[in-house]
Every structure is written in structure tokens, then in C-alpha cells.
Amino acid sequence: MILDIARLLLFPSLLAFAAASDLLTMTISNRVSLVLAAGFLVLAPLGGMGSWEMLLHLGAGAVVLVAAFGCFAMGWVGGGDAKIAATAALWFGFGHLMNYLLYASLFGGALTLLLLQFRQWPLPYVLAGQPWLLRLHAKESGIPYGIALALGALMAYPDTEWVKAVDLARFALH
């Protein structure tokens, strides 16, 4: 039961925290990525994932880490975004990686267009005192892409073995 709760809550809650952190501070703590990676390394063998499959998941994380840090080096994404993308890929493995990346790309495009439009309008006076909103509204600010990465992950996660392995009937209230 504890394993099922961890499968259902650890990954989604950490991704939601990363999104909120990116929205409010434009940063994602390294601790979030470290806890995600550690959570995978603990839950994968406890959940019955074999060594070969774990290596494939590690490979997916490594491929995304290299690509994301290339994007970071070009100034396209932040370092926290690159690490979150890689640790999410670790959980998805190659089997669900393309769905995750597709969702994250679609949400990223929508988020970018929304923020570009939002930055064209003046902030209402009652909202102008919020530092996080001022930062989000600033035209020279980047895009908090961690939001799109988290939304993409949360959309793809229910289709993974992590969720399918949970016996949801045990959680139903009778």
C-alpha cells in the first residue's frame, strides 16, 4: 500500500512543486531533481523493475539531459528546466518519452504564446505589487518552462506502468 501511495504521489507532487516554484521564483531547486532521481532509484526495484529496464530508463534520462543541456547552453531553457526534463524522462523511460515530450512541447508553446501576449498588456495596479507577477510580466524575463514540463509529465504519467501497477480498487471508499 505504501508503495502504491508513493507511485501515485511522489512524481506528480514533485512536478507540481517544480511548476509552482518556476512560476513564483523562475527557479527550480536542484533538490527537486535529486529527490525525483532518488525516488526512481528506490521505487523502481521495489516495484519489480528489472535491471535492464532500469538501465533503459537511465538511458532515456541521459539522452534528455544531454539534449536539455544543449538547449541550456544555447540559452533556450534554464538549468532547472533541463534537470527536471531529464529526471522526468528517467521516470518515463523510452516507452513513454515521446508522449511526455509531445505534451511538454505543446504546453510550452501555449505557455510561451500566453506569456508573450500577457507581457503586451499593462499590469493592473492591484497586481503590480506582486514581485512574482512583475517578474513574470517583465519582457526581458524568460519563460518558466518548468510549468510546461510539469504539465506534460502530469498528462503522460497516468498511462505509465507506475500508475497501472497500482490497484486503485484498494483505495476506493466502500
Instruction: Please report whether residue 51 resides in a domain.
Output: yes
Query: DSSP for 110-171?
Result: HHHHHHHHHTTSPPPGGGTT-HHHHHHH-TTS---THHHHHHHHHHHGGGSHHHHTS-GGGG
Provide the pLDDT for residue 171.
63
Instruction: Give the integer Cα–Cα distance in Å for 22 and 146.
Output: 6
Provide the pLDDT for residue 2.
85
Instruction: Please report whether residue 91 resides in a domain.
Output: yes
Instruction: Give the integer Cα–Cα distance in Å for 57 and 93.
Output: 4
Instruction: Please report whether residue 117 resides in a domain.
Output: yes
Instruction: Please report whether residue 169 resides in a domain.
Output: no
**C-beta separation of 74 from 37 below 8 A:** no
Instruction: Please report whether residue 1 resides in a domain.
Output: no
Please give the residue range of the domain that contains residue 125: 9-164
Instruction: Give the integer Cα–Cα distance in Å for 49 and 66.
Output: 24
Instruction: Please report whether residue 172 resides in a domain.
Output: no
pLDDT tens track of the chain, all 174 residues?
788 889 999 999 999 999 999 999 999 999 999 999 999 999 999 999 999 999 999 999 999 999 999 999 999 999 999 999 999 999 999 999 999 999 999 999 999 999 999 999 998 888 888 999 999 999 899 999 999 999 999 999 999 999 988 876 666 654
Provide the number of structural domains found in the chain: 1
Instruction: Give the integer Cα–Cα distance in Å for 4 and 10.
Output: 10
Instruction: Please report whether residue 64 resides in a domain.
Output: yes
